Every structure is written in structure tokens, then in C-alpha cells.
Amino acid sequence: MTKTLADLTPEQRANCVGMWCEYPNIYGRLGIIYALDDEHDPWILRFDVRTEILGYDAKNIIPRFDLPRAWAPNGTPPAGEWEDGHVVVSYDDPDPWILKDAVSIEGLSEGGMSYYDAPPNGIEVKLDKFGEGEGKARRWIGEWEEA
């Protein structure tokens, strides 16, 4: 049987703040346990049509102990460190009906190729006259928390 917040002690519930959770919705979306009220019922950060914080009954919230935290119970980021990466950007010649200027970004720290319609935020790229270049990117690397 899956444990809900109602199955936990107030102290255990408080430790769940910042964790991903299942909450009642028809789309199967996850939320984040944002805070607890005075009765130890949760406020959930939902990502729906708009981002909002709503109160729920603890018996309807299932903490996802199998996922990494969004933040620690005290509001600080989870333990980890920044990793600097190197990216190669190449402007493809896409189908003009699909994308105007497609960008292929290869993250050398991860390998693999990702496709974007523009360089994502956090990636600094210097392009040559042919629209290709190299740049830097950063990503947060953290350890999964054992539940």
C-alpha cells in the first residue's frame, strides 16, 4: 500500500517539504510539497494551466520518495555542485515549414544531441560567420537522496 502524508508523523511530514508528490488531478501530473499549515496539511505547488499553490488534505498526497527533491525542507537547494560543460552549436538547414533557424546543441559533458529553435538560456555561444560556434553551459549535478 502506498504511503500518504496522512500515514506520516508531523515530523516526517515536515521532512517531505520540497519533495515531488502525487496529488488529485485528472492528468496524472506531479506537484511539489511547498509547505505545511498549522494542522500539518500540505500546500502543493502545482504546474497546471498556471502555476499555483493550493491546500490539500494529507490523505490525498503521496510523496514520491523515488524522485530527487526539488529543494531541501529548509528551502535550500539539494546538495550538489555545478558542472561546466562545453557545447557545439550548428545551425541546421531545416524544412522552412517546421523551423526557421534550428539549432543543434551537442553537450560534450553529457554526449548526445539536442535540438532547439534557439540556444537555451544559460548557454553562451559565439557564432562564426557561418552561424556555427562553440560555447559554455552549466548544469547542476546532485546525488539522489536515499529514502
Question: What are the CA-CA distances from residue 48 to residues 16, 28, 54, 64, 134 (Å)?
Answer: 21, 11, 12, 18, 36
- How is the chain split into domains, by residue range? 5-63, 81-139
* 37-54 pLDDT per residue, tens: 998 899 999 987 788 999
Of the candidates 128, 111, 15, the one whose C-alpha atom is nearest the C-alpha of residue 63 is 15
How high is the pLDDT of residue 26?
Answer: 86
Whether 30 shows a pLDDT value over 60: the answer reads yes
Question: What are the CA-CA distances from residue 65 to residues 6, 33, 92, 130 (Å)?
Answer: 15, 12, 41, 48
Torsion over CA: 3, 74, 29, 51 (sign): positive
H or E stretch at 13: helix 10-14
* 55-81 pLDDT per residue, tens: 999 999 999 999 888 899 998 887 777
Average pLDDT over residues 124-134: 65
* Assigned architecture for domain 5-63: Roll (2.30)
- Torsion, CA 91, CA 95, CA 97, CA 100, rounded to 10: 10
Torsion over CA: 122, 127, 131, 133 (sign): negative
